[in-house]
């Protein structure tokens, strides 16, 4: 009698791991193509950075026929390190709109995902994409990127990646102007009641991402962990830390903001809180008024100074 493959581990709502080791992602797998010219006036294309890393590039179409140099943003998507990509129906429209609103070049990074590729793979892939960007490895970058106005941004797990990349950045090598951390994934002790309600979910995700180190002890999500590098090493001049009022990660985001202010880091940090909204609301409700206001805030940050 033929044996039917049975799922032996489920991680709702993200994925199943079958008993033959096959990973079945339940969400975050849909893709949309790039556009030579979008309704917002943006050209986008996909590029291969290395055998393991790719990206989708965005540029205002009008810039292609000029010599104007533009601020350059390297963006890291969210999805708990286990789902999503720059090519998804959530991220592609957002990047297209942000490139148009801010007038910037965007390099939206497609890094490898857990559990097939556990941390620090996502960090290493993201760093590879940064080096590729500052190496001006594409004609759009060579002709139009202003690396004196270089920014990193990301949401959720991508916000965590932004922090890690800024900590790796040396101002003597990369002139990082600023970073935008949107609803970043940080964790650690002194949990609020709201955070305690999410312990099961967070632990489930973490077992997929980094099973060898407990989340409370991981310097990747807890900047106060024993191996963590002091926040004074953050390699940029400005930080925009964004939280949403109803997001269970709200408290940890605000704690990061306060810790950075008190660390002795010499840059400028601002806190942006969106009232009445939840985690990455701007991706799921891009046409709402608060998402519009939030995009204007991010665009303004990318064009300051």
Query: Does 167 score more than 50 pLDDT?
Result: yes
Model pLDDT, residue 2: 47
The percent of residues in the chain predicted with pLDDT above 70, rounded, is 97
CA distance 16 to 6: 10
Measure the CA angle with vertex 277, ends 287 and 255; round to 5°. Answer: 130
Model pLDDT, residue 305: 58
The percent of residues in the chain predicted with pLDDT above 90, rounded, is 92
Domain positions in the chain? 1-30, 40-302
Model pLDDT, residue 7: 56
Question: Confidence band (pLDDT; 50, 70, 90) for 17?
Answer: very high
Query: Does 3 score more than 80 pLDDT?
Result: no
CA distance 25 to 13: 9
- Mean pLDDT, to the nearest integer, of 267-281? 98
Model pLDDT, residue 304: 87
Query: Does 5 score more than 60 pLDDT?
Result: no
Of the candidates 69, 71, 59, 17, the one whose C-alpha atom is nearest the C-alpha of residue 35 is 59
Q: How big, in percent rounded to 5, are the helix, strand and coil portions of the chain?
A: 35, 25, 45
Model pLDDT, residue 8: 74
Q: Which residues fall within 8 angstroms of residue 218, CB to CB, at 6 or more apart?
A: 187, 206, 210, 225
State pLDDT tens for residues 116-145. Answer: 999 999 999 999 999 999 999 999 999 999
- Mean pLDDT, to the nearest integer, of 13-25? 93
Q: Are 72 and 145 in contact (CB under 8 A)?
A: yes
Catalytic center residues? 156, 247, 279
How many C-beta atoms surround the C-beta of residue 124 within 10 A? 16
- Mean pLDDT, to the nearest integer, of 176-203? 96
For domain 40-302, say whether CATH 3.40.47.10 is its number: no
Q: Which residues fall within 8 angstroms of residue 46, CB to CB, at 6 or more apart?
A: 34, 54, 55, 56, 57, 87
Query: Does 6 score more than 90 pLDDT?
Result: no
- Mean pLDDT, to the nearest integer, of 197-201? 96
DSSP 3-state assignment of 47? strand
Question: Confidence band (pLDDT; 50, 70, 90) for 224?
Answer: confident
Model pLDDT, residue 148: 96
């Amino acid at each position: 009698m033929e044996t039917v493959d049975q799922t032996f581990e489920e991680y709702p709502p993200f994925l199943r791991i079958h008993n033959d080791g096959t990973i079945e992602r339940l969400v975050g797998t849909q893709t949309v193509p790039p556009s030579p010219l979008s309704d917002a006036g943006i050209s986008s294309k996909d590029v291969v950075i290395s055998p393991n890393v790719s990206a989708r590039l965005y540029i205002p179409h009008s810039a292609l026929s000029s010599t104007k140099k533009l601020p350059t943003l390297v963006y890291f998507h969210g999805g708990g390190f286990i789902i999503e990509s720059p090519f998804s129906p959530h991220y592609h429209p957002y990047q297209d709109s942000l490139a148009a609103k801010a007038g910037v070049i965007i390099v939206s990074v497609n890094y490898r995902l857990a559990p097939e590729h556990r941390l620090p793979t996502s960090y290493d892939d993201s760093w590879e994409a940064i080096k590729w960007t500052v190496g001006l490895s594409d004609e759009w970058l060579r002709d139009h990127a202003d690396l004196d106005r270089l920014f990193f941004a990301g949401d959720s797990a991508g916000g965590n990646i932004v922090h890690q990349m800024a900590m790796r950045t040396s101002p003597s090598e990369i002139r990082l102007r600023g970073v935008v951390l949107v609803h970043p994934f940080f964790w650690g002790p002194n949990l609020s009641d709201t955070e305690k309600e999410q312990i099961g979910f967070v632990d489930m995700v973490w077992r997929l991402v980094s099973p060898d180190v407990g989340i409370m002890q991981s310097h990747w999500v807890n900047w106060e962990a024993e191996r963590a590098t002091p926040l004074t090493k953050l390699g940029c001049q400005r930080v925009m830390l964004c939280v949403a009022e109803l997001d269970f990660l709200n408290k940890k985001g605000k704690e990061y903001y306060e810790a950075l202010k008190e660390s002795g880091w010499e840059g400028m940090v601002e806190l942006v809180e969106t009232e009445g909204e939840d985690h990455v609301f701007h991706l799921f409700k891009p046409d709402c008024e608060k998402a519009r206001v939030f995009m204007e805030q991010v665009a303004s940050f990318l064009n300051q100074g």
